């Protein structure tokens, strides 16, 4: 039997490590999906919404490091993929987008569902190829694969249906996978790096996602330099655990001594981080060295005194024997003392959790953290779930805390959890979903989780609002507006769909309800947690503009007849504010 373009496509993808394809079929994709069916070795995961499948593929590819396929039919089908594609580009997940295309004879005629793949995908895709001749297959597919794997991001193969069924005449050899290169700065730059460290009295480390494979090296350097270690949200899971020098996070999610440690240092080492909130980074009075594999990240968030291109792991392995050991601990001790004070504040507030109504979201997450497995996967929605996860989910060597942390899309947690379950079957998989995100995207594909009998636990923060947007509006100095909505009983909806549903309204039921959810492994569970809509967190540093914005917002609420809501917010957070002040 002769091989056609679509057959060759799937053979090449499979040989390169693709094992799953998420998506929805459609007319322009029919010949391509028929070839996938005949191939039989790549699992097709039919989702209810292409974007949901896209976010699932992002988590899948991130966890395995292998390319994952997603597909959508021409026009409206592929446009649903764009948000997840941008997320994959930001988070570093290798995706191969199989885009249905109009027949080659009507390209550029404004045909039904036609779009120009080069223009449409240019924001999201690292490479876009359009196959209109069978002789292109080898070059286009290999380029798409090498780019997705090597640059860790999404690529697109656009394929018209009539081209998909054309015969391939040439023999197609599979792609040869290569190991990533070992990259570190030049010897001269390493010498300069070491001299700057030796000349500094107070060194602080700020680590990010680039420290993914470098925990031991960062910890060893911090120990040798008596350096506090702060981290971005993406770096938390790699640097928090088994690290005596860990001092928390900076930014609006910040806690612990990280902010002070950064600003009181005379040298900051920014390792594998593109931390985007410049107002939380020190100014020109603190010297900074930034190390990143992507040279475009160097110096774009803050002024730096030395920029280095390289992987964190081999760079620090080379650096460690080059630097002198420091013995002064005053800088480290101050940062650790601040961090311990924050931890005592957290603990004091959580003690009241079982009796504090409505349910405090921090108590909900802290309880989940206590009960969850040491190798659990946590998918975290953008919004207030990020606040509580950053503060109350503890990292470990085996846990994964994942979300749209760089692109900040809503509604990623539930599909990320599904992708994680496909990538690592049987691993405890938990989604921390905002009610806005779950109703936006997660609810429809509950049916997919049920159909597949996937043991995914979805914990919904049911506060009846886009809570993080409310906070952003207050920060901007405006009265909250357009953020409230009416919710259903999500537990009842889950049961109607064939899943387990658990409704939590009383804080005394939180621990038993979560235990029940985590023990259910024969299919998905929805935990509908009705949480305090006024719960706030207070960061370790509040910029002047943020404080001014909240003050102006409060005044506008009072003068517009909405003071009752402001009063409730103050009542629900007064004790928390007092406890945080004790950490100052």
Q: Could you tell me the CATH number of the domain that includes residue 242?
A: 3.40.50.1220
Provide the pLDDT for residue 286: 97
Same domain for 146 and 192, yes or no, is no
* Contact yes or no for 531/359 (Cβ under 8 A): yes
Residue 244 domain-assigned?
yes
The pLDDT score that the predictor gives to residue 566 is 46
Report the pLDDT averaged over residues 138-162: 97
What average pLDDT does this structure show over 74-96? 97
State pLDDT tens for residues 334-391.
999 999 999 998 999 899 999 999 999 999 999 999 999 999 999 999 999 999 999 9
Percentage above 90 pLDDT, the chain: 85
Residues 192 and 62 in one domain: no
Q: Which residue has the tokens 């960062």?
A: 218
Residue 176 in any domain: the answer is no
144 and 51 assigned to the same domain: yes
Per-residue model confidence (pLDDT) at position 546: 60
Q: Pairing relation of β-strands 20-23 and 68-72?
A: parallel
Q: Kindly state whether residue 385 falls inside one of the protein's structural domains.
A: yes
Count of helices and strands (H, E) across the chain:
24, 18
User: What is the bridge-based pairing of β-strands 154-160 and 43-46?
Assistant: unpaired
CA distances from 414 to 51, 511, 520 (A): 12, 21, 17
Does the residue 87 lie in any domain? Answer: yes
The Cα 29–Cα 24 span in angstroms is 9
Quick check: 401 pLDDT over 90? yes
User: Where does the pLDDT of residue 63 fall: very low under 50, low under 70, confident under 90, or very high at 90 and above?
Assistant: very high
* pLDDT for res 92: 96
pLDDT at 443: 96
Judgement on whether residues 463 and 525 belong to the same structural domain of the protein: yes
69 and 136 both lie in a single domain: yes
Q: Is position 557 within any domain?
A: no
The verdict on 452 and 485 lying in the same domain is yes
281, 158 contact by CB (below 8 A): no
Residue 206 and residue 96 in one domain: no
| Straight-line distance from the first to the last Cα atom of the chain, in angstroms, rounded to the nearest whole number | 75
Do 139 and 217 fall into the same domain? Answer: no
The residues that bridge with 493 in the sheet, in sequence order, are: none
Q: Is 83 exposed, middle or buried (0-12, 13-18, 19+ CB in 10 A)?
A: buried
Structural domain tally of the chain? 3
461: CATH: 3.40.50.970
Q: Which residue has the tokens 């357009």?
A: 482
Q: Which residues pair with 4 in a beta bridge?
A: 167
For 183, other C-beta atoms within 10 Å of its C-beta total: 12
Domain of residue 410 covers 352-467+480-542
Evaluate whether residue 420 is within a structural domain.
Answer: yes
**One domain, residues 247 and 363:** no
- Check if the beta carbon of residue 403 is closer than 8 Å to that of residue 412: yes
92 and 36: one domain? yes
| pLDDT single digits (tens) 86-100 | 999 999 999 999 999
Q: For residue 345, tell me if it sits in a domain.
A: no
| Residue 418 counted as domain residue | yes
- The band of 582, judged by pLDDT with boundaries at 50, 70 and 90, is low
Condensed to tens digits (0 to 9), the pLDDT of residues 442-464 reads 999 999 999 999 999 999 999 99
User: 3-class secondary structure for 224-253?
Assistant: HHCCCEEECHHHHHHHCCCCCCEEEECCCC
pLDDT in tens, 520-572: 999 999 999 999 998 877 777 776 566 556 555 554 554 555 555 545 555 55
- On whether the CB atoms of residues 164 and 35 are closer than 8 A, the answer is yes
Domain identity same for 200 and 288 = yes
Q: What is the mean pLDDT of residues 200-218?
A: 97
Q: pLDDT, tens digit, for every residue of 253-264?
A: 999 999 999 999
Q: Which pLDDT value is given to residue 471?
A: 85
Residue reference for tokens 């050899």: 173
In terms of C-beta density within 10 A (0-12 exposed, 13-18 middle, 19 or more buried), how is residue 206 classed?
Answer: buried
The answer to whether 369 touches 380, Cβ cutoff 8 Å, is: no
Give start and end residues of each alpha helix (H) in 82-153. Answer: 82-91, 117-120, 137-151
**Whole-structure pTM value:** 0.93
Residue where one domain finishes, among candidates 164, 198, 225: 164
Give me the percent of the chain exceeding a pLDDT of 70.
Answer: 93
Query: For the chain, how big is the Rg over CA atoms in Å?
Result: 25
The answer on 517 and 382 residing in a single domain is yes
């Amino acid at each position: 039997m002769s091989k056609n373009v679509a057959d060759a496509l799937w053979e090449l993808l499979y040989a390169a490590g693709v094992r799953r394809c998420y998506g929805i079929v459609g007319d322009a994709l029919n010949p391509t999906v028929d070839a996938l069916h005949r191939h039989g070795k790549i699992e097709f995961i039919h989702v209810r919404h292409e974007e949901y499948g896209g976010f699932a593929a992002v988590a899948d590819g991130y966890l395995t490091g292998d390319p994952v396929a997603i597909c959508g039919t021409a026009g409206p089908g592929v446009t649903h993929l764009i948000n997840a594609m941008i997320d994959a580009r930001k988070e570093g997940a290798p995706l191969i987008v199989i885009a249905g295309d109009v027949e080659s004879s009507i390209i550029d005629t404004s045909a039904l569902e036609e779009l120009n793949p080069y223009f449409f995908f240019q924001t999201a895709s690292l490479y876009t190829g359009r196959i209109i001749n069978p002789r292109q297959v080898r070059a286009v597919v290999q380029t798409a694969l090498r780019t997705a794997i090597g640059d860790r991001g999404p690529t697109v193969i656009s394929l018209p249906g009539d081209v998909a069924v054309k015969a391939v005449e040439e023999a197609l050899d599979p792609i040869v996978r290569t190991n990533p290169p070992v990259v570190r700065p030049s010897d001269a730059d390493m010498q300069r790096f070491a001299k700057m460290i030796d000349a500094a009295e107070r060194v602080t480390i700020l680590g990010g996602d680039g420290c993914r494979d470098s925990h031991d090296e960062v910890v060893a350097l911090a120990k040798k330099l008596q350096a506090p270690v702060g981290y971005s949200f993406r770096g938390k899971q790699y640097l928090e655990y088994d690290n005596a020098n860990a001092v928390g996070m900076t930014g609006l999610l910040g806690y612990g001594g990280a902010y002070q440690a950064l600003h009181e240092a005379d040298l900051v080492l920014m390792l594998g981080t593109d931390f985007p909130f410049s107002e939380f980074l020190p100014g020109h009075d603190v010297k900074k060295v930034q190390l990143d594999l992507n040279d475009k990240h160097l110096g774009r968030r803050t002024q730096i005194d030395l920029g280095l291109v390289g992987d964190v792991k081999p760079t620090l392995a080379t650096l460690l024997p080059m630097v002198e050991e420091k013995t002064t601990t005053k800088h480290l001790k101050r940062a650790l003392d601040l961090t311990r004070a924050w931890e005592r504040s957290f603990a004091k507030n959580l003690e009241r959790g079982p009796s504090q109504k409505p349910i405090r979201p921090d108590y909900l997450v802290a309880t989940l953290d206590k009960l969850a497995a040491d190798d659990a996967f946590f998918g975290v929605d953008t919004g207030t779930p990020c606040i509580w996860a950053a503060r109350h989910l503890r990292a470990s060597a085996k846990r994964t805390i994942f979300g749209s942390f760089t692109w900040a899309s809503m509604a990623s947690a539930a599909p990320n959890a599904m992708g994680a379950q496909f990538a690592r079957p049987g691993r405890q998989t938990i989604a921390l979903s905002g009610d806005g995100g779950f109703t936006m995207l997660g609810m429809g594909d509950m049916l997919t989780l049920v159909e597949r009998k996937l043991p995914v636990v979805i914990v919904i923060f049911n506060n009846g609002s886009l809570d993080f947007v409310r906070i952003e509006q207050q920060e901007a100095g405006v009265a909250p507006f357009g953020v409230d909505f009416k919710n259903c009983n999500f537990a009842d909806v889950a049961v109607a769909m064939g899943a387990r549903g658990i409704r939590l309204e009383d804080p005394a039921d939180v621990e038993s309800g979560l235990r029940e959810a985590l023990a259910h492994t024969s299919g998905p569970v929805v935990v509908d947690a009705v949480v305090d809509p006024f719960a706030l967190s207070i960061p370790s540093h509040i910029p002047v503009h943020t404080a001014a914005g909240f003050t102006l917002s409060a005044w506008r609420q009072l003068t517009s007849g909405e003071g009752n809501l402001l009063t409730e917010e103050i009542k629900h957070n007064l004790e928390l504010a007092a406890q945080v002040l004790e950490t100052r």
